[in-house]
Chains A and B, each alone.
Chain A
């Protein structure tokens, strides 16, 4: 039988994580499922968790009050939905909405933060996994900002 621990270990974010640290992460994890159209979180809510996507597709959106939502990124299997500062208390700056039936693992950030403060090697592991993702998203955002596809 596939346990949450096995599912967590199989996610690319946890690739190569030592078993003892995987168990620590597992203690903050739970399975979750979203129907198409259902929100994982809303902008301005406290970012008390992040999500490791197992299956499905999640759109990140920003909407002006009364305006049409503007979809600026999608995340898929193997990717992570997290606010800008995954290891600090903060708020979501955007909505995340499942655009397909989506299975994910949610990680309680307060729980993980406490463990990272007690075990700096776990904290280092987490940061070394988050930072390349942050850098890639920053580069992608810059490319989107450049609006490279030609004149409007």
Chain B
């Protein structure tokens, strides 16, 4: 499992934003960009795939954004941001050369160690591919540690396909099964149309030795879990990255409280077995 780098009992540099500069800006599609951030001084901290940073748009505010870059790239943090509000909009509009405050990384990431020796099934919906990308790149970097690797990805429309060039590149690898689906498409689309859970029935799955990483809208994750359990996958092998309104990132403010847990420090990656009951309660 990943590490909670900063806790409420151990205040440290994670509570003070460090200045980073935007060194690359890649427009993914409408309202969504990927930014490469380099520390203004020193080196960036290490991170575990699945962890997140608090990005501070100066004068506007702070938002939690998952790291979407390669853990092996020691120079930069990569973040993929969709403009959905004041802070994310300010971050998404940052130009190359602009400065941004960064606190982190925070939270528990994907269980990379626990997945060693097993098959890995990655299920992503929409921007949910961003927090999974570091895990995918880490798996590719240590491919022999894992058995069969499958990636299922769904989005609304082919025009909203995140990392589409990379997805094409991954799909050409012989040792990974990549399947992509969209909710609807125009006549030129020749791949699958339908929701992500419908792909689960098509994937080769050894229910005794597969670790599943799921990230996307919560309703998509719930339907995916149903499809996985229809195929006999035990709850203890399914890991979800939870989305909640994270403000402090160190378990103090309570904005991301999820029953007795705080998503910012007990998650965002959580084992389905431990949260299955909570997921079923609408008020939580």
Contacts and interface: CB of A to CB of B under 8 A. Distances in A.
User: Do A and B interact with each other, yes or no?
Assistant: yes
Given A139-B223, A143-B195, A150 B186 contact: no
Contacts of B82: 150-151
Nearest to A141: B195
B193 A147 contact: no
A149 B183 contact: yes
A124 interface: no
A70 B156 CA distance: 13
Interface stretch (A3-11, A19-27, A41-49, A71-79): A71-79
B220 interface: yes
A144 interface: yes
Contacts of B189: 71
Contact of A71 (B185, B198, B219): B185
A76 B198 CA distance: 11
B190 A149 contact: no
B31 interface: yes
A77 B185 CA distance: 20
A148 B187 contact: no
A110 interface: no
Contacts of A72: 183-184, 193
A151 to B, nearest CB: 5
A70 B183 CA distance: 10
Q: Could you say which interface size class chain B belongs to?
A: 20 to 34
A22 to B, nearest CB: 23
Where chain A touches its partner, the secondary structure class is mixed
Contacts of B264: none
Given A73-B193, A74-B192, A143-B197, A148 B186 contact: no
10 contacts: A57-B190, A59-B193, A68-B186, A68-B187, A70-B186, A73-B194, A74-B193, A144-B184, A149-B155, A149-B217
A151 B31 contact: yes
Nearest to A140: B195
A108 interface: no
B216 A148 contact: yes
Interface string B107-140: 0000000000000000001110000000000000
